Chains A and B, each alone.
Chain A
Amino acid sequence: MNVNHNTEKDRLNFWEKLYLPEIARGLGLTLRQMFKKPMTRQYPEERWEPTGSYRGRPVLVLEEDGERCVACSLCSRVCPALAIEVQAAETTKEKERYPVKFEINMLRCIYCGFCEEVCPEEAIVMSKDYELIFTNQEDAILGKDKLLIPIAQLQDRLEFLRRFK
């Protein structure tokens, strides 16, 4: 019969078939790592602080007199994942409109940053927040209460955008 033999058994040489020397080699590798500086960190006690270029969850910029967002829905239109829903309403402020509802569905968001790029008001920016844990689908839809972040906390990103956008 014309059978092409290529089983594991066929590929191994005698020493490899014995296994024991290989086990010793593996143990040796492990032993060597023990004396090296660890690559991992003790998360969550030890946290990584991303730089301004990091694209964590998108958030809304909150200034002293309220949000910058004018509810133009451009972020919602450009979002490739349809993660953003905005409902506008009228204000007496100069810019006429504000979002009564602003929701980002974090199960849809793919952290592309398009929303930040399109925003005419620099009102939505990518934050450093990467810790997104939800136990049900409803919780993953973040409203204005969770999205609005004081501008002071977003300085790194705003600085990054000023320099590189």
Chain B
Amino acid sequence: MPQITIDGQRIETSAGKTIIEAALDNGIDIPHFCWHPGLSVSGNCRMCLVNTGFPRKSADGSLERDENGGNVINWGPKLAIACATPVADGMVIDTQGQRTEHAQNAIMEFLLINHPLDCPICDEAGECKLQEYAFLHSKGQSRYNEKKNHKDKRVELGPNVMFDGERCISCSRCIRFADEVAKQPVLTFVQRGDHVTIETFPGTTFDSPYSMNVNDICPVGALTSMDFRFASRVWEMSFTDSICPGCSRGCNIKVGVRNNEILRLEPRTNMHVNEYWMCDNARLTQYKFVNENRISSPMIRKGNTLVSASWQEATSQAADLLKKFKPSEIMVVGSARATNEDNYLLAKFAHNTIKTNNIDFLRHIDNSFSDNSLRTNDRTPNAHGAVEVGVKHEQPSGVSMSNLAERIKQRSIKALYVMDGDIAANSSLTDALDDLDCLIVHATNHNSTTERAHVVLASTTYAELEGTFTNLNKRVQYVQPAVATQDHERIEGMQMSRWDKFGAPNDRWARGERRNCRQNWEIVQDIANMLGAGWHYTNSENVFKDISNHVSAFSGMSYDLLQEFQGLTLGKAGSPEPKGVVYQSNYMKPN
């Protein structure tokens, strides 16, 4: 085990690590542009230069001491790049001294020679490594009086990636990402010296399903997202840790919100799930349904139309309808898009309150979506969890999703209580739904299921709830609200932007719609209590405590632990995997 000293701090590290890795493991951040922990080392930006040396030894092999009793260091003749220099036992590294500082300042001056001063119109401003380092490691003066170089701006490298040649600092992160992670090696440097720029090979375009990750890792604003371009400055948004609901991988993400509207999603490091990445499909789609076409209050059917109702009216209507049927005529459908908490209470509702064992849920499988990277064929975030907490077909008497349509036609199932607002998306069920006497649906968006429903209960999307999802590797991960609803305002515990903190009712920028929707389990609890259940869950954590006490796979889990370890595996709460270092490229991003 080599021992090294960084800035006077003694560090035990392992052989083969580079200086920058050893430092990062111990919370020391060495300035860098081209290095990224998820990519190979290219060592071209020279920002990570540090002063290295070894203690000097006298002829007899003992360490020489200076007058203060410290070691005498033989500093190297030149500085070394921390990203490509492996650690060696006894190495002494100085990341802050005069020599290092001088080198950092020189590199910054060099990089800024041709960099346009267009931060005001650059989307990266506020989360830009060049800005951060110009602030921290540069004198802020340029001695360059000549004309700046001009290059192409607004070049579309692919359908979602816009390139600005003038801003590029030629770190090659994007090229390495395309080669190594996206496995679509179409980006390259062309020209030399200060004419160097990035191009796609002739006849190719950078359209990999993971292409938008380069917008995040580009240390400057040379690569920007065409979906987000100019939508907002980052310092006006709040970023909330969340989990992508797009497929069963459960990528860790951050939800970027302004004025109660999601403007973008970005990946969050979790070395056990998605590392540093997420897929483009999710970035482009998994926020739109939260903003658009929402069911913004509960509704009940009056004649042929659905009309808005109060929660009291809607839930009592649902309870009254359910009372009219025999338990065996009612089918309860859970949801792989809902949380463990929601499904757990729904299963309890079916078994103990309605007393039916007709319970199942619909899988949303799309084989064209899976690849051998992150994307999986299960387009829901919580199929594993739903089964685990009890939403599963009860053999042999219970009705399952596969024979549901048939049972409805035979009139042995007359009422359906559905938590998955999208079951009509399954074509075999669409017609059958018309033959029901009663259809009660929890839904987030208007669709063909809600059109057929007798009671529509407005439920929260993943961005508005607190709860847990279980991904395909049985990892339980914590989700928290990023968007306010009428049920919960942006209060303590929620991430708030400057706008959220200081907005008043007469500010147009504080009036983003608050929808009258509630978490699935809250709705289920209300209806269950009307049918005599007598439950007293006050928040999601209560429900989760109940799950961890009653479902063995969850035992030992709590919201605190889930957050501390960024997720726990079912059945292994006692031996969590260490979270490791969570690398973030831009660390000064305001919130």
Contacts and interface: CB of A to CB of B under 8 A. Distances in A.
A76 to B, nearest CB: 8
A144 interface: no
B121 A82 contact: no
Interface in B117-149: 120-121, 125
A103 B232 CA distance: 15
A77 B230 contact: no
Nearest to B164: A96
B506 interface: yes
A152 B373 CA distance: 60
B154 interface: yes
B238 to A, nearest CB: 15
A72 B120 contact: yes
Interface string A84-119: 010011100001110000010101100000000000
Interface string A57-72: 0000000000000111
Given A70-B120, A88-B230, A103 B506 contact: no
Contacts of B235: 77
Interface in B192-236: 229-233, 235-236
A74 B122 CA distance: 12
Contacts of B508: 85, 103, 105, 141
B506 A107 contact: yes
A15 to B, nearest CB: 57
Contacts of B153: 96
A73 B509 contact: no
Contacts of B229: 90
A50 interface: no
A124 B153 CA distance: 26
Interface string B488-530: 0000000000110010001111000000000000000000000
Nearest to A105: B507
Nearest to B509: A85
Contacts of A141: 508
Contact of B121 (A76, A96, A108, A137): A96
Interface in A114-140: 120-121, 137-138
Contacts of B230: 71, 88-90, 96-97
Interface string B151-183: 001100000000000000000000000000000
B154 A74 contact: no
B233 A70 contact: no
A82 B502 contact: yes
A107 B498 CA distance: 19
Contacts of A138: 506
Interface in B223-257: 229-233, 235-236
B233 A73 contact: yes
A138 to B, nearest CB: 8
A73 to B, nearest CB: 5
Nearest to B259: A85
Task: Identify the interface centre among B153, B232, B509: most chain A CB within 10 Å of its CB.
Answer: B509
A85 B121 CA distance: 16
Given A85-B509, A90-B229, A74 B120 contact: yes
A82 B498 contact: yes
B121 A70 contact: yes
Contact of B506 (A90, A96, A137): A137
A162 B508 CA distance: 34
Contacts of B507: 82, 85, 105, 108
B506 A120 contact: no
A121 B154 CA distance: 21
Contacts of B154: 96
Contacts of A77: 233, 235-236
B121 to A, nearest CB: 5
Nearest to B233: A73
Contacts of B121: 70, 72, 95-97
Contacts of A108: 507
A25 B154 CA distance: 80
A75 to B, nearest CB: 10
Nearest to A82: B502
Contacts of A89: 230
Contacts of A73: 233, 236
A137 B235 CA distance: 27
Contacts of A88: 230-232
Contacts of A96: 121, 153-154, 230
10 contacts: A72-B121, A73-B233, A85-B507, A85-B508, A85-B509, A88-B230, A88-B231, A96-B153, A97-B121, A138-B506
Given A70-B120, A96-B230, A137-B506, 15 more contacts: A72-B125, A74-B120, A77-B233, A77-B235, A77-B236, A82-B507, A85-B507, A88-B232, A89-B230, A90-B229, A95-B121, A97-B230, A107-B506, A120-B120, A121-B120
Interface of B: 120-121, 125, 153-154, 229-233, 235-236, 498-499, 502, 506-509
